[in-house]
Chains A and B, each alone.
Chain A
């Protein structure tokens, strides 16, 4: 069996859908966006997301910052509520220093 080293890229991005709910959705989004690639920063565009669930957001933090060890997660245009839930998830997982928010909306 041969293994291939993950390719490297500076960054990748994910656009969150209007509604999010379960953990499997988060894992699939991250898998589709990154695959086996190592990235320096993952940008999550939450401008379309209206409804989100804590489980989904926690899994997003876990898959990006814990499982794939992406050095930085940038969340753009999240609602204040989603931002609070993401921050709480990051604090529980002790990776709050690796998450940054831009253009948070009410």
Chain B
């Protein structure tokens, strides 16, 4: 099966640069396991410190010596964008399939992760469990949660879009519903079109459940080849930050003039039209778009594939 090899230079324990080389097999998202080529020199894990949300990813992610790939012990808050980031990235950093990843010290965060099924999804993806569990009552929160799930990339966009729409208050304007549908569908279609994997991760939550302050946060991620790799054949070598900026401006790996419109449409609809946010992460770069503004992000940790985070204020009518 074709594979993509990538290398990255990271800082080793002693502060010296260490080159890490990985081979991404295309079935990584299905099996969650990642074979690495050659002799692996050193791999660091990912640590989350503080709040991991659509607005704080760059501040919350750290590298750390964690053989199991993931240390959430210092995580104090996490939203669906943080969940899919962790889910899609865990296999990338996991170097020890016999260990246990570190669960949050905060029991409430631990409960939330259980409720959103992060331990279950990571276990299915990598075989690893957290070092501690927080039992949760199985009560029906389906009114505002879309639990984390690994879904097949092919033909799953409509189902996911409907699941997310079902979580919104009935009074949410039709125009807002149309934008939610567009964003979810286009984000999910990108996985099948560009990521070269056959599945991705999705989660969502409605915050402030009642109008007029209802907010919807959606996270969609994959462990695929990433945006820079996807664009390389047409645009040459780009940094992750530059590749993301080009993709959000409409660049595509495909020459068809109708391609490459998904991310620009999401930005225009979610950020500029509704006053929400669009976050795009890939590799070690990112971009956070707010109304009329876009900020590039340098990540301290390689998130591997692509993460899309969308925050939509649903309690206001669309301006057009």
Contact = CB atoms under 8 A, between A and B. Distances in A.
Q: Do A and B bind each other?
A: yes
Interface of A: 19, 21-22, 50-55, 58-59, 61-62, 79-81, 85, 88-89, 92-93
Nearest to B257: A92
B135 interface: no
Contacts of B177: 51
Contacts, number: 59
Given A51-B178, A53-B157, A81-B178, 6 more contacts: A21-B185, A22-B155, A51-B165, A52-B181, A61-B258, A85-B265
Contacts of B51: none
Most buried by B among A50, A51, A88, A92: A51
B258 A53 contact: no
Contacts of B157: 21-22, 53
Nearest to A54: B265
A55 B165 CA distance: 19
A21 B189 contact: yes
**Chief secondary structure at chain B's binding surface:** helix
Contacts of A61: 258
Contact of A22 (B165, B175, B181, B189): B189
B261 A58 contact: yes
B161 to A, nearest CB: 7
Contacts of A52: 178, 181-182
Contacts of A50: 174, 178
Interface string B249-265: 00000001110011001
Nearest to A19: B158
A51 B258 contact: no
Interface string B192-233: 000000000000000000000000000000000000000000
B161 A51 contact: yes
A93 B258 CA distance: 7
A50 B161 CA distance: 13
A89 B182 contact: no
Nearest to B183: A53
Interface in B157-195: 157-158, 161-162, 165, 174-175, 177-178, 181-182, 185-186, 189
A9 B142 CA distance: 51
Interface in B116-160: 155, 157-158
A58 B258 contact: yes
24 contacts: A19-B158, A19-B162, A21-B158, A21-B161, A21-B189, A22-B155, A22-B158, A22-B189, A51-B161, A51-B165, A51-B177, A51-B178, A54-B182, A54-B261, A54-B262, A55-B185, A55-B186, A55-B262, A58-B261, A59-B258, A61-B258, A80-B320, A88-B261, A93-B258
